[in-house]
């Protein structure tokens, strides 16, 4: 994190200390369905699993820019060949589709780097089968609206793999693996499911409201609920904020200093060589009156100020 971003984090902590609290989204799911009045819905009717075969799509035409490619169970054949969607096409799957999309090492590729219409949603997946998805928005102007929403009923590990480069990721359910080369530009929200973050994945400050996350990158979270297991030391200049939930901090690498901690509610379980978590920090550690600290060996130490607050604002 660069100095400007670090200054912004510190400013947020000051506002919090003064009673100004950033609020999480009021709803469990953000509203991500856009109007479909002027969009064509083209259903998957395949018998051979080849998405490049026009006969695999209702009406005999491949989904194009502005079309919704819908897999709703009309055909239960898995989509395992011809794994591309045209620029600007939108992928949607329903709970009724029981097949898979893509294969290990052979992902469905969605390229949002062109197309006349800047769609708000690129992919919404709710089917219980497997999904291997690569979405690349490139550097186009419409990149500001690319979004992937995963709301799958099966939380088995490896059920869903995501890769590529897009702006917004929302996970409301499913067993989702974020691959090492994945980059999320702006928004990352986890509401439920079992999420595995591979070392190397590039994420913005993720907000967790539920589910189980196992993180192998240096990404620090903002946790409102659920359990976050951190397997790698948080990166220098990170900001860790807790408004609920549980963090297990158990990195295998050395502990990084210069982390901003704002621990209002929930519990933090520090294990192994991370027991000196608060040693030598240059910023104040804010800890709520009822916050549960487990495994911390070094609390008050030279260079670190601990502010045990009893007047944190209530998180609505």
CA distance 233 to 180: 17
CB contact set of 304 (below 8 Å; sequence gap of 6+): 278, 279, 280, 281, 285
Binned average pLDDT, 10 residues per bin, the chain of 316 residues: 42 42 44 54 97 97 91 96 89 96 94 54 90 78 70 85 91 95 92 95 93 93 95 87 91 73 86 68 74 63 55 41
Segment 120-170, tens digit of pLDDT: 568 999 999 999 999 887 654 444 568 899 999 877 778 999 999 888 999
Both tokens of 184, joined, read: 């999320």
Distance set, CA 265 to CA 69, 239, 290, 308 (Å): 43, 15, 7, 12
């Amino acid at each position: 994190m660069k100095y400007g971003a670090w200054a912004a984090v510190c400013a947020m902590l000051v506002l919090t200390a003064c009673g100004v609290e950033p609020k999480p989204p009021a709803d469990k799911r953000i509203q991500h369905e856009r109007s479909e009045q002027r969009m064509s819905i083209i259903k998957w009717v395949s018998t051979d699993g080849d998405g490049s075969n026009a006969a695999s799509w209702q009406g005999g035409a491949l989904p194009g820019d502005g079309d919704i490619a819908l897999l709703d169970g009309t055909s239960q054949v898995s989509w395992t060949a011809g794994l591309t969607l045209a620029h600007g096409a939108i992928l949607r799957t329903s709970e009724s589709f029981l097949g898979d999309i893509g294969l290990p090492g052979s992902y469905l590729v969605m390229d949002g780097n062109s197309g006349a219409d800047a769609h708000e949603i690129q992919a919404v997946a709710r089917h219980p089968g497997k999904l291997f998805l690569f979405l690349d928005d490139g550097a186009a102007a419409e990149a500001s609206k690319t979004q992937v929403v995963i709301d799958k009923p099966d939380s088995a590990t490896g059920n869903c793999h995501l890769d590529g480069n897009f702006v917004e990721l929302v996970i409301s359910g499913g067993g989702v693996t974020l691959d090492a080369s994945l980059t999320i530009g702006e928004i990352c929200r986890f509401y439920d499911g079992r999420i595995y973050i591979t070392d190397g994945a590039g994420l913005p400050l993720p907000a967790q409201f539920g589910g189980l996350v196992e993180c192998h990158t240096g990404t620090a979270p903002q946790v409102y609920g659920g359990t976050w297991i951190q397997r790698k030391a948080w990166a220098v200049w990170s900001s860790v904020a807790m408004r609920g939930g549980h963090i297990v901090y158990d990195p295998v690498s050395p502990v990084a200093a210069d982390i901003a901690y704002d621990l209002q509610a929930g519990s933090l379980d520090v294990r192994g060589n991370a027991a000196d978590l608060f040693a030598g920090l240059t910023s104040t550690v804010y800890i709520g009156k009822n916050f549960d600290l487990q495994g911390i060996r070094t609390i008050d130490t030279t260079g670190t100020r601990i502010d045990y607050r009893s007047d944190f604002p209530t998180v609505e």
